[in-house]
Amino acid sequence: MNRRNGSIMTSNTLSAKKEEHNMPAQILDGAAMAEKIRQQIAQEVAQRLAEGKPAPGLATVLVGDNPASQVYVKSKHKACQQVGIRSMGYELPATASQQEVMDLVKRLNDDPAVNGILVQLPLPSGLDEEKVLGAISIEKDVDGFHPINIGRLAQKGREPLFVPCTPAGCMVLIESVLPDLNGANAVVLGRSNIVGMPVALLLVRANATVTICHSRTRNLKEVCRSADVLVAAVGRAEMVRVDWVKPGAVVIDVGINRVEDATQPRGYRLVGDVAFDEVKDVAGWLTPVPGGVGPMTIAMLLQNTLRAARLSDV
């Protein structure tokens, strides 16, 4: 038996939750969990400084003026500041050439004060994302998107230096309530390089039986309903309805979608890929949007940056 969050988790946890499926889902509070992780990181950074080691350094690269990207980068710098990580922001205009972006990445690779490099995606059209990500030193790939890191993640017996931040955050949330995923039936809705594929690989590593769904999957609703663990990362507002979810399932909602709402001051509200108000009545555990996976993504980025600093110590 395993103890998590003060409760005893056994192999019968899922079946027990199914029997209680008439009760509302337990909310997986990513914001609270991320705060605990950040506090631990802050302590470890303070310890580094006390030992005379430099603070970990994260460099962000923002190309263009995408408003959402600007917000994401700003939140990452703020999070770094809160835990004692040095953050350095580099901005290039949307007209920047492939060579200019590559040259900046090379300079950051060669800078010993930079432990982690984060190129904010998406890049403006005309730039080759794969080439840019591949140019980041594998020891500084705190986003975990370098082809070698992904390749190691996909192979048995090999370990990536870094795991992509959002998938890593999803796994921490899942394993906080289901520490033993042996034989669990997991369904990943979405096959992006950033979330869907890496989280599927992590679930395979945890010995779950994994199905990856996409727009051409037959009987999509029935496949999703078979899942003990359902990760929704498809980018379609409230696509997963109540009859898509197995009673008692763990449901991780990665989606962040804007829906027009005249009653809101900004004229819209944020919703996930899961119809929260419906699904909470049948799921065993469910992440909210916002406040679920999002805060965990940034916490994992901070954790990866600290790890990169440790690797550079050796």
135 closest CA partner among 97, 111, 163, 101: 101
Strands (E), the chain: 2-4, 7-9, 26-27, 57-63, 86-92, 116-119, 185-189, 209-213, 229-232, 250-253, 257-260, 268-271, 285-286
Q: What is the pLDDT of residues 109-130, one digit of tens each?
A: 999 999 999 999 999 999 999 9
- pLDDT band for 39, please (50, 70, 90 cuts): very high
- The response to whether 226 counts as a known ligand-binding position is no
Question: Residues of CATH 3.40.50.10860 domain(s) within the chain?
Answer: 54-144
Q: How far apart are CA 139 and CA 109, in angstroms?
A: 9
- The response to whether 97 counts as a known ligand-binding position is no
Q: How far apart are CA 165 and CA 53, in angstroms?
A: 25
Residue 10, pLDDT score: 42
**Residues forming the active site:** 76, 120, 143
Lowest mean pLDDT among 64-73, 102-111, 193-202, 287-296: 64-73
301 closest CA partner among 137, 63, 128, 83: 83
- The response to whether 256 counts as a known ligand-binding position is yes
**CATH 1.10.760.10 holds for 2-29+164-294:** no
Q: How far apart are CA 115 and CA 141, in angstroms?
A: 9
Class of domain 54-144: alpha beta
Residue 1, pLDDT score: 34
Residue 24, pLDDT score: 87
Looking at residues 300-304, what average pLDDT do you find? 98
Q: What is the pLDDT of residues 243-273, one digit of tens each?
A: 999 999 999 999 999 999 999 998 999 999 9
Residue 23, pLDDT score: 76
90 closest CA partner among 79, 111, 82: 111
Amino acid letter, residue 43: Q
Long-range contact pairs involving 73-77 (C-beta distance under 8 Å, separation at least 24): 73/120, 75/298, 76/118, 76/298, 76/301
**What is the token pair recorded at 150?**
């992904």
- The response to whether 64 counts as a known ligand-binding position is no
pTM of the model: 0.91
Whether 107 has a pLDDT exceeding 70, the answer reads yes
Question: Residues of CATH 3.40.50.720 domain(s) within the chain?
Answer: 2-29+164-294
Q: How far apart are CA 65 and CA 255, in angstroms?
A: 22
Looking at residues 182-209, what average pLDDT do you find? 97
